[in-house]
Structure 1
Amino acid sequence: MRQPVYCLLFTTLLIGSIAHADNKPLRIGVDLPYTPYQYKEPDGTISGFEVELVNAACERMQRDCEWVEQGWDGIIPGLMARKYDFIASAMNITEERARQVSFSAPYYQIPSVWVQSVNSEYDLDGELADISIGVQQATIQDEYVTTYYPDANIHRYGDSGSVVADMHAGRLDLVFTAYSLAQETMLQDERFEQTGELITGPESIYGPGIGAAFRPRDKALIEEFNKAMLELKEDGTFDNIYNAYFKDQ
């Protein structure tokens, strides 16, 4: 028996709407700048290591990507408010964040570094009382400094660019930030130098690495993203993108 015309029309529209929903662009929340992981080109294009990596994952998922700028302090609330579908913004997987969001598998790690002016000598094993330390607010570097140097004069900034600007202006004694960011913005300047070893722990602060953050209900999307990222690592695409940005590391 034939279906009535209106039933066929309804079925066609329903299937079409589902297909459209499945293939709509994925919106990705990102805080800028965080060179070389995320930054904006002179023409306004958002680029960087993690941006290229996630764009490649989107291609494997056969989905278009749209990047949405969002300040760091509001990046998780923005996800929950459905401003974007997930976050890919050099976000460490931590227990505190995992109470609010669900993470992908970790796909890289960012060591942190201390930067000081040349000829300065600070005892990183001491208390650093009254020493001015610059960090980006609500990052793992902020948590690390707050935990281990509570007597320091900690300056917290809303974005990494402001941390760097104040270090260049001489308003900070030390900066604690991502190593690659420091390489791009300070360590190429003869006025500054690394002090101490690179830091990637403890895991209670740093977690297992960097991952993308999703709303907890989006389990299928997380699985799809993890599968795409695994393929990028297995076929060498991940290494090619990594080496383009970090060939000297």
Structure 2
Amino acid sequence: MFKRIAALSALFALAASAAFAASALDKDTLVAATESTYPPYESRNEKGELVGFDIELTETVAKKLGKKVEWLDMPFDSLIPALMSGKVDLVAAGMSATPERAKRVNFSAPYEISFSAFVTGVENPPKDTDELAGKVVAVQIGTVQENFARSLGNVEVKTFQKFDDCVREVVLGRAAATLMDIPVAKQYVQAKDFAGKVTVAFNKQITGADKAIAMPKQDEALTAAVNGVIEEMDKSGELAALRDKWFKE
């Protein structure tokens, strides 16, 4: 009986290994994951449709590879686990390609340099992180912003699933600041619900890791194909045009 169980376990392990060994390039449709509260990288328009730089970039890459895209919208801290479990084929969510993440997933060539803006109330905004000592900083869970806030060691960190909740905490006076990529901060500062209530106090490069598309660690074929398209788009000027469209401000 134990031999039978061992044989079945080995069979299941072999089947799982084979499933992961197959490349997403073998499929007609790529399953892509994002978290849709991070404009202009990704958000939903008035019709509830996903729009943004990452969305258009991913769909352009897929089209050039002869693939369709099926989108899944999920919490940011669920994105890499979904990729590692085989639930999705790639992640496009304004994600920074940090060395820690690169141990678990593959990243495409970077497509944008990452700088963060600190969003605070409009009255007496701080000039640097030193002025946030002893105060509450709201961040999205699982992000490089969360890691940076915790690394300060002298602030109270509150985490949320969505960035709009982080900004709302600042508006309500329950947090002194939140931080996010500069293009995203500009969107929130100008948004209807937050205009005139928050401002960008200062900018800071919190990590040397730039933005990239994440893919399964074992799918080298997909990584190579995506990188080939991004390189082609960079050389042709398509990537710059896409940046100008979504980050024109």
TM-score in same-fold range (> 0.5): yes
Shift of the alpha carbon at 1:238?
1.3
CA contact (8 A) 1:187 1:194 kept: no
Identity %: 24
Aligned to 1:132: 136
Shift of the alpha carbon at 1:67?
1.0
Aligned to 1:199: 204
CA contact (8 A) 2:139 2:179 kept: yes
Pick the aligned partner of 2:105 from 88, 93, 101. Answer: 101
Task: Encode CA deviations 1:84-140: one digit per residue, 9 max, x unaligned.
Answer: 111111111111111111111111123101122122243525263321211111211
Pick the aligned partner of 1:157 from 153, 157, 160. Answer: 160
Cα RMSD, aligned residues only: 2.1
CA distance in 1, matches of 2:48, 2:123: 38
Aligned to 2:186: 183
In structure 2, stretches of 5+ residues that fail to align are 1-21
Aligned to 2:12: none
Aligned to 1:8: none
Larger mean CA deviation between 23-32 and 115-124 belongs to 115-124
Shift of the alpha carbon at 1:192?
2.3
CA distance in 1, matches of 2:38, 2:242: 17
Q: Quick one: structure 1 residues 64 and 121, their matched pair in 2 at CA, closer, same or farther if it must change by over 3 Å?
A: closer
1:190 aligned partner, one-letter code? G
2:223 aligned partner, one-letter code? I
Secondary structure in 2 matching 1:186: helix
Larger mean CA deviation between 55-64 and 183-192 belongs to 183-192
Aligned to 2:15: none
Secondary structure in 1 matching 2:200: strand
Q: Quick one: structure 1 residues 21 and 175, their matched pair in 2 at CA, closer, same or farther if it must change by over 3 Å?
A: closer
Aligned to 1:67: 71
Aligned to 1:230: 231
CA distance in 1, matches of 2:190, 2:50: 24
CA contact (8 A) 1:127 1:152 kept: no
CA distance in 1, matches of 2:96, 2:47: 29
Task: Encode CA deviations 1:168-219: one digit per residue, 9 max, x unaligned.
Answer: 22322111122111111125622322223x222442xxx2x11111111110
CA contact (8 A) 1:127 1:151 kept: no
Q: Quick one: structure 1 residues 227 and 174, their matched pair in 2 at CA, closer, same or farther if it must change by over 3 Å?
A: same
Secondary structure in 2 matching 1:120: coil
Shift of the alpha carbon at 1:141?
1.0
2:228 aligned partner, one-letter code? K
| TM-score with structure 2 setting the length | 0.83
Q: Quick one: structure 1 residues 122 and 200, their matched pair in 2 at CA, closer, same or farther if it must change by over 3 Å?
A: closer
Structure 1 stretches of 4+ moved >3 Å: none
| TM-score with structure 1 setting the length | 0.83
Shift of the alpha carbon at 1:21?
7.2
CA distance in 2, matches of 1:104, 1:135: 25
Aligned to 1:239: 240
User: How many equivalent pairs are there?
Assistant: 224
Aligned to 2:18: none
Pick the aligned partner of 2:174 from 171, 175, 181. Answer: 171
CA distance in 2, matches of 1:100, 1:69: 21
Secondary structure in 1 matching 2:183: helix
CA distance in 2, matches of 1:191, 1:21: 47
Structure of larger gyration radius: 1
Secondary structure in 2 matching 1:214: strand
